[in-house]
Amino acid sequence: MTQPPEYFEFDPAAGRTNPPYLAGDRESLDSWLDFHRAALLSKCEGLDDERLRTRSVPPSSLSLLGLIRHMTEVERNWFRRVLLDEEVAPLYCSDDVDSADVAADFTRFRAELEHCRKVAAQHHGHADFLRERIDGVTAS
């Protein structure tokens, strides 16, 4: 098996933990999202660019890289378009990954995840300080 590309960074010990089954809404949402994000990255771990582009069963266009690209769009849609009401153009106009820049796609996916986490934390933080201002209650 070939070595994973240098841009691929997945630490199974740090990146994929079981989410709590009994937790508050916010903790549950954040932990389950991160669990599934890490699950996708773990399925890509150790594969070179060619294998990441490999189609499941021809003529299907389904590939692991295609899933990374799809999930980048899903994250953008929910956190930018839906939550922030931003107008952002789609990143990928086709499911053709044969000429895709794998490193750029993984970088874009990780950047989108980081942006989503910041958006989620910011909205939570605003709710915290508004509640604290109203009656002094601080959330955990």
Residues 90 and 100: their CA atoms lie apart, in Å, by: 15
CATH 1.10.1240 fits 12-135, yes or no: no
Residues in contact with 45: Cβ distance below 8 Å, sequence separation at least 6, in sequence order? 4, 8, 10, 12
pLDDT band at 16 (very low <50, low <70, confident <90, very high): low
Residues 23 and 84: their CA atoms lie apart, in Å, by: 26
Does the pTM surpass 0.85? The reply is: no
pLDDT of residue 5: 42
pLDDT of residue 22: 86
pLDDT at 137 over 80: no
Q: Sketch the domain layout of the chain as residue ranges.
A: 12-135
- Find the mean pLDDT for residues 9-37: 76
Cβ neighbourhood burial of 65 (10 Å; 0-12, 13-18, 19+): buried
